[in-house]
Structure 1
Amino acid sequence: MPIIRRQVDAEGWDAVSPYGYGGPIFSEATSSDFIDEALRAIVGRLRETGCISWFIRLHPLLNADWQSSVGEVIEQGMTVSIDLTKTEEEHWRETRSNHRRNIVKAVRAGVTVHIDRDFVALPTFIRLYKETMRRLGAEPSYFFDERYYHELVSEAGPNLRLFVAKEAGEIIGAMLLSVAWEAGVIQYHLVGTDQRYQHRYPSKVIVQAARNWGRDRGLKRLHLGGGVGGSSADSLFNFKRGFSPDTHVFKTQRVVVHPERYVRLCDGDESVLSDLKGYFPAYRRDIAGALDDGVEETLAASEACSR
């Protein structure tokens, strides 16, 4: 289970899942008792090294039946996925009518999608993503430095796909997805579009292309994620639901690793230990200059350009 270590003060730090759905991975035969025993061992080790709290984003697909007595597991909202075992006809039938119209219109206008295996278009994708985030007024935490993208390609290149949409040779949108080959899951990661070509709906055309690509390769699911802040009522979630009726519950797990230090950071308010459903960790709300990592909810704003 991957974590990011964030310094709280000179004495301690807290742990948070990386961006996305970095939930725990375990073999199918693993019992719930063993999982809890393992989690308690991790918590003990984290406490020894100065950790105060631990925020875990569970994967809606891989951790669908997740239960744990460690900390508190909370339902945050819904996500959408596409069942890639269905036929092309079934997929097209499940696609909302306005999505179908927009895709057909774009294709007739000459919009094409290809996979950039050598990541030649990565600089353009980075620019489009940044422009899209600025256009949406996204928080600073939704921007990544250049090193992030290049290290992602370097470390996970065989498991990444950069889908690029073009019209008349011009890149009008691009989407970065990851592929878990053994699990058969494609994960929508980041997308950027050129504002001048919004009338071509590049995000819709790319999702259609990714869906076809995954189905042709025998993969099982294309996970599109959820709405902004885990909402199932916003326009981003509505956009994704236009491709599939399949939804999944997104959960987070909140663990107070060091209760005494947690209470102390919350001005001695012991009530924070009895209800972990609100902003977590509670002390992050009041730490001046704290990293706004959005741990209260699932981070979906980087996908908001699909609206």
Structure 2
Amino acid sequence: MSTRAALDGVRVTSPVPRAVWRSLADSDPYALPTQTPQWLDAVCDGGRYTDVSQLYEWPDGHRILVPLVRKRYLPTRLATNGSWPIGWDIGGALCDQGRISKEQAAAVVERLAGQSVRATYFRPHPVHDDVWSAVIPTAARRKPRMVQTIDLRAGVEAVWKRFSSSKRRNIRKARQAALTVECDSTGRLLPIFDRLYRQSVERWATQGDTPAWLTRLRVNRKYSTRYFTSVVRHLGATCQVWVLWHEGVTTTALITVSHGGYTFALANAMDKRLSGPIHGQTYLHALAIEQACAEGRDYFHLGDTYPGTGVTRFKSSFGPVDYHSAGYWLPPTRSRNGSS
């Protein structure tokens, strides 16, 4: 572990001690499940990445933590830092009490861009996007993102009223059907989820203009069986696999992860032929939202989406708030002595 003074008195520690990371994840009301030390363990599972997280401490005691990894076996100058690598969702920054100023954000970005790596991918939390976007260098490459989040703070009845009328009607129909639902956090149901997910990949491969083989390659590489296994293993009881059966036949599955004020719908899968008529995806999401309300969560994060798609319309019918944000590829900057 190295600790040194930098950026006009800001103390930087890397990697971040676990106890400090846990403390900041508990302090930040906007902390996502993907910003916890357990998520870091899932990212690093298998040995591909190493922890290069950074803790920034200002003289007044304010702290900001950047979850960060680097590919383990590449020379530093050829490697990229990721917060997180694309496919591992939002890393961004954890902040004491969820507070960050533009000056603090600028100091963090300056140091991230000053690393001796080929580039750094930094994806901040959408709620702070206005702060970060104001200090990102113009040379950075922007990757637009949109996420949808349901505000649960007014309680389950208020959340229900924000569902579209057709969504409420379909949930009522599902409740009257011969459906069986299981929710498990031991990993026992993961093989069922994964089978439905690979089946969904085959369906997605036939849609759109991308060649089927390329869609299969991209999705199966990004969201492999190992990916889901790592998440379930390291997040433990905070990761739940939901499975829905209709008349004894598996139709639909969902994975959620939770931390603090957030539950995150990480991934879903279905046999569309069987799940569609019973509104299985709608019903499982509704159950997960109800559970998040019962657990006292503040938000239900529906994940990334793309405007104008069927997936976006499906999520929009739950009454979420849309956040338009971005991930940023930060190119390395020259240090004062002229070296990268």
Q: What is the TM-score when the length of structure 2 is the normalising length?
A: 0.66
Q: State the Cα distance separating 1:23 from its structure 2 match.
A: 1.8
Distance 1:2 1:95, change over 3 A: same
Distance 1:195 1:233, change over 3 A: closer
State the partner residue of 2:124: 58
Aligned residues: 251
1:234 aligns with 2:304: no
State the partner residue of 1:136: 204
Residue of structure 2 aligned with 1:22, choices 91, 106, 126: 91
Deviation larger for 2-11 or 81-90: 2-11
State the partner residue of 2:281: 203
Q: State the Cα distance separating 1:83 from its structure 2 match.
A: 1.2
Residue of structure 2 aligned with 1:186, choices 240, 263, 284: 263
Percent of residue pairs identical? 21
State the partner residue of 1:81: 149
State the partner residue of 1:69: 135
Greater relative contact order structure (CA < 8 Å, 6+ sep) = 1
Unaligned runs of 5+ residues in structure 2 are 1-66, 206-214, 335-340
Distance 1:38 1:61, change over 3 A: closer
- Secondary structure of the residue aligned to 2:122 is strand
State the partner residue of 1:271: none
RMSD of equivalent CA atoms: 2.8
Is the 2:121–2:330 contact (alpha carbons within 8 Å) kept by the matching residues of 1?
Answer: yes
Is the 2:68–2:81 contact (alpha carbons within 8 Å) kept by the matching residues of 1?
Answer: no
Q: State the Cα distance separating 1:5 from its structure 2 match.
A: 3.4
Is the 1:79–1:237 contact (alpha carbons within 8 Å) kept by the matching residues of 2?
Answer: no
Q: State the Cα distance separating 1:125 from its structure 2 match.
A: 0.5
- Secondary structure of the residue aligned to 1:66 is helix
Q: State the Cα distance separating 1:123 from its structure 2 match.
A: 0.5
Is the 1:165–1:173 contact (alpha carbons within 8 Å) kept by the matching residues of 2?
Answer: yes
1:145 aligns with 2:211: no
Distance of 1:68 and 1:139 partners within structure 2? 37
Distance 1:219 1:86, change over 3 A: same
Distance 1:95 1:139, change over 3 A: same
Unaligned runs of 5+ residues in structure 1 are 260-307
Is the 1:55–1:255 contact (alpha carbons within 8 Å) kept by the matching residues of 2?
Answer: yes
Is the 1:95–1:244 contact (alpha carbons within 8 Å) kept by the matching residues of 2?
Answer: yes
State the partner residue of 1:40: 110
State the partner residue of 1:90: 158
- Secondary structure of the residue aligned to 2:258 is strand
Distance 1:254 1:215, change over 3 A: same
Distance 1:77 1:152, change over 3 A: closer
